[in-house]
Every structure is written in structure tokens, then in C-alpha cells.
């Protein structure tokens, strides 16, 4: 256990309470905020609180470098982290000591995880999604990429087993099976997590449980697909995941002026009326959301000094507006001024670049 006074631990762990900041609950920990001799012990304690008690070993323990943020989404916690090479061991003794009954989902972003449990072994490279069980012994070694920075980086998810919509007796098959984070539901999961953790400021504390539901839905769909167990997913989970896939499709195709509700429905093998029903519980209709996204992309381009020589009508066309007059009218309605005036003011006043769509 750490030998430093208790108040020293708080110097390495800064909490951002929702009541004070208006944002999601988040805590942040940096070993660099502590004396070198205390860093590894505090990192062990930190990981034990975030996931479950583990034995840690590292060749760099004498002066360990690590950084972790933990964002609370109701009962689900996500934690982007960077750290030096390390070995985690969850033993039978530690399981008897404490078992939070949860799954840990690890996603290496830069580096490699080597995992062993029972008589099985697996190697997970960047964007390869792995599943660990707090109730089972395992041994994980995380190492940085040989051609990149000297720190391993990744995102961890802690989710209570009871929340997932996949039978536990089928989950065992996933422990020896990595899942891609570059395509399908895995790509949606990685994209959602990286965007969320990059900036939590737009979210209020009440958004936490709703965002946690999104994570659970994505994980459930990912696992069910990998296990050929889609029939176990409840209808509401399927609907929410379909909306997420539709949103990702729209984001990839905003440049296409033929991106209409009819085209989107056809691309997902559903009727246009069903598409509109899916968006009935969203903040905007699907057509309004597409227009919103296009306008936001165009506004960012108008903010960008590197694009000052690009004609406004070319920016409009880049984001699916085929008629300059329609773009000007829509932009004025969204931001209160025509695009030419907005660009002029934005390039003169950098603070305008923080403008958000109402």
C-alpha cells in the first residue's frame, strides 16, 4: 500500500464534480503529480478502484508514468488512459477478496495487449476489442507500439454484467475472441467513445445514464453479433442501434446532395415511414438533422483560415448544398447572418469559432 499521507493521493487525482461544473462526473489522475517513489503504488490503487484489485508489475515502477481519466455514465464507467508498459494479474486470491461482477472491455489505441487466462492466449493490436471478466483470473501485458510514442494508450469500459443483453453462459466464448474496432458495431463503439472522451463539456450530469445506455446498447449489439445471438437483444436496443448506424451513415455521406430520407431508408433496407418513426424520439426529424450537420460542417470551413480562399459556394457544394441561395437562406436562419458576413467576422474575431448551433 502507499506510504505517503492520505492527502497526497488527492494531488494526483482531480475530480470534476457535476454539481459544480455542469458537466459529466469525471476524475483525472496523473502520476506526474506525485513524487516518483510513490507513483506506482498509487497507480496500483487507482486501477484497483477503477476495475478490480490486480497485481501490477512494470520495469518502470521506480518512476512510473501514467494518466487516466474516468468518466461516469451512470453505472457504466469509461476511462481513456496512457501509461508505460505494464503487466496486470487478476488472481483467484484477488477474486475472493473482491469481485464487482463486471466486464472490462479494453480497446488498445496505440500499443498491444497480450492476454492469457486458463490455458488460452490472445494478442490484441490497435483497435482490437477485448473482453475480460472480473470473476475470472487473467494475465494482461500492455506494451507501447514499437514505431510510436513510448506510452501505451487505450480506452477501458467497466460495465456491470447484469446490464448486458447477452446471456452470461455465452459470454465465455468472447474471452478468446477479439472483435474489430474498425468496422461494423465495433467501429461505432470506438467512434462514440473517442468523440465523447475528447470533449465532455456539451453534456450535463443528467446525460450520463443516457450515454451509458448507448454504450450498453453498442456493446450488446457487438457481442450478440460476434456470438450469433441477435435474437436475445430487446427491440428497443435494436432500434437505438439502428439509429446509431443511420447517423454514422449520414456523417459519411453529408457531401452527397442525394442524401435524402428515402435514400437513407433504402440503404438500411427499411421503409421511409419506419425511418421517420425511428427519429420520432430524437431531438430533430431526420431531414432537419441532416441539414444541421451540413450547416455545422460548412460553418467550420468558414471559420478555417486555411480555407479563406475557397469560395463560399464551393464550401456549400462540398456539404451537399447544390443551390447557393438555399445555403445562404439556411445559414442565415441557423446563425443569424449570411455566410459571407459570418466568415468575415469569424476570421477577424476568433471567439466566434466557439459558436454552436441552437
The string of DSSP codes covering 219-247 is HHHHHHHHHT-GGGS-HHHHHHHHHHHHH
**354 pLDDT higher than 70:** no
What percentage of the chain carries pLDDT values higher than 90? 66
Q: Which of 34, 64, 33, 68 is nearest to 48 (CA)?
A: 68
pLDDT winner (highest mean) among 86-95, 174-183, 246-255, 283-292: 86-95
Per-residue pLDDT, 4:
35
Its sign, for the CA torsion 132, 134, 139, 141, is: positive
- pLDDT band, residue 117 (cuts 50/70/90): confident
| pLDDT over threshold 60, residue 247 | yes
- Which pLDDT score is estimated for 350? 54
pLDDT at 148: 63
Of the candidates 176, 184, 219, 177, the residue with the CA atom closest to the CA atom of residue 78: 219
Cβ–Cβ < 8 Å for 132, 104: yes
Complete DSSP assignment for 77-134: EEEEEEESSEEEEE-HHHHHH----EEEEEEEEESEEEEEETTEEEEE-TTEEEEEET
Rounded mean pLDDT of 293-319? 93
Which of 17-21, 22-26, 69-73, 113-117 shows the lowest per-residue confidence on average (mean pLDDT)? Answer: 17-21
Q: Is 136 exposed, middle or buried (0-12, 13-18, 19+ CB in 10 A)?
A: middle
Mean pLDDT of 80-101: 95
Q: What is the mean pLDDT of residues 91-112?
A: 94
Mean pLDDT of the region 164-186: 86
Q: Is the pLDDT of residue 310 over 50?
A: yes
Nearest one of 314, 323, 336, 254 to 289, comparing CA atoms = 254
Question: Does residue 80 carry a pLDDT above 70?
Answer: yes
Q: Domains plus CATH for the chain?
A: 6-252 (2.60.120.10), 261-354 (1.10.10.60)
- pLDDT band with cut points at 50, 70 and 90 for residue 22: low
Question: Model-level pTM greater than 0.85?
Answer: no
User: 355 or 227: which carries more pLDDT confidence?
Assistant: 227
Which pLDDT score is estimated for 357? Answer: 38
Of 178, 177, 141, give the one whose Cα is nearest residue 54: 141
Residues 316-344: tens digit of each pLDDT: 999 999 999 999 999 999 999 999 999 98
Alpha carbon 298 to chain centroid, angstroms: 25
The pLDDT mean for the chain works out to 87
User: For residue 13, how many C-alpha atoms fall within 13 Å in the half-sphere facing its CB?
Assistant: 17
Compute and round to an integer the Cα radius of gyration of the chain.
23
- The pLDDT of residue 237 is 86
Amino acid at each position: 500500500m502507499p506510504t505517503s499521507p492520505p492527502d497526497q493521493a488527492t494531488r494526483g487525482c482531480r475530480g470534476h464534480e457535476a454539481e459544480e461544473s455542469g458537466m459529466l462526473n469525471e476524475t483525472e489522475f496523473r502520476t506526474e503529480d506525485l513524487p516518483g517513489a510513490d507513483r506506482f503504488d498509487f497507480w496500483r490503487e487507482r486501477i484497483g478502484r477503477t476495475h478490480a484489485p490486480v497485481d501490477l508489475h512494470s520495469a518502470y515502477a521506480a518512476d512510473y508514468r501514467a494518466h487516466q481519466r474516468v468518466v461516469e455514465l451512470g453505472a457504466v464507467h469509461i476511462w481513456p488512459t496512457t501509461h508505460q508498459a505494464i503487466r496486470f494479474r487478476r488472481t483467484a486470491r484477488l477474486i475472493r477478496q473482491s469481485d464487482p461482477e463486471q466486464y472490462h472491455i479494453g480497446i488498445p489505441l496505440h500499443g498491444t495487449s497480450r492476454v492469457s487466462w486458463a490455458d488460452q492466449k490472445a494478442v490484441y493490436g490497435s483497435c482490437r476489442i477485448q473482453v475480460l471478466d472480473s470473476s475470472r483470473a487473467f494475465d494482461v501485458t500492455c506494451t507501447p507500439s514499437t514505431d510510436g510514442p513510448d506510452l501505451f494508450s487505450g480506452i477501458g469500459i467497466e460495465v456491470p454484467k447484469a446490464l448486458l443483453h447477452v446471456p452470461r453462459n455465452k459470454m465465455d466464448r468472447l474471452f478468446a475472441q477479439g472483435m474489430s474496432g474498425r468496422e461494423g458495431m465495433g467501429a461505432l463503439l470506438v467512434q462514440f467513445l473517442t468523440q465523447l472522451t475528447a470533449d465532455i463539456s456539451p453534456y450535463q450530469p443528467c446525460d450520463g445514464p443516457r450515454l451509458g445506455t448507448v454504450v450498453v446498447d453498442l456493446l450488446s449489439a457487438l457481442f450478440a453479433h460476434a456470438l450469433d445471438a441477435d435474437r436475445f437483444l430487446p427491440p428497443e436496443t435494436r432500434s437505438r442501434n439502428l439509429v446509431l448506424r443511420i447517423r454514422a451513415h449520414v456523417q459519411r455521406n453529408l457531401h452527397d446532395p442525394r442524401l435524402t430520407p428515402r435514400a437513407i431508408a433504402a440503404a438500411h433496407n427499411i421503409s421511409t415511414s419506419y425511418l421517420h418513426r425511428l427519429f420520432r424520439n430524437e431531438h430533430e426529424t431526420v431531414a432537419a438533422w441532416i441539414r444541421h450537420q451540413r450547416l455545422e460542417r460548412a460553418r467550420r470551413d468558414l471559420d478555417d483560415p486555411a480555407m479563406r480562399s475557397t469560395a463560399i459556394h464551393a464550401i456549400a457544394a462540398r456539404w451537399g448544398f447544390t443551390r447557393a441561395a438555399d445555403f445562404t437562406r439556411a445559414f442565415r436562419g441557423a446563425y443569424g447572418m449570411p455566410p459571407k458576413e459570418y466568415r468575415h467576422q469569424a476570421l477577424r474575431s476568433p471567439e466566434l469559432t466557439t459558436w454552436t448551433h441552437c
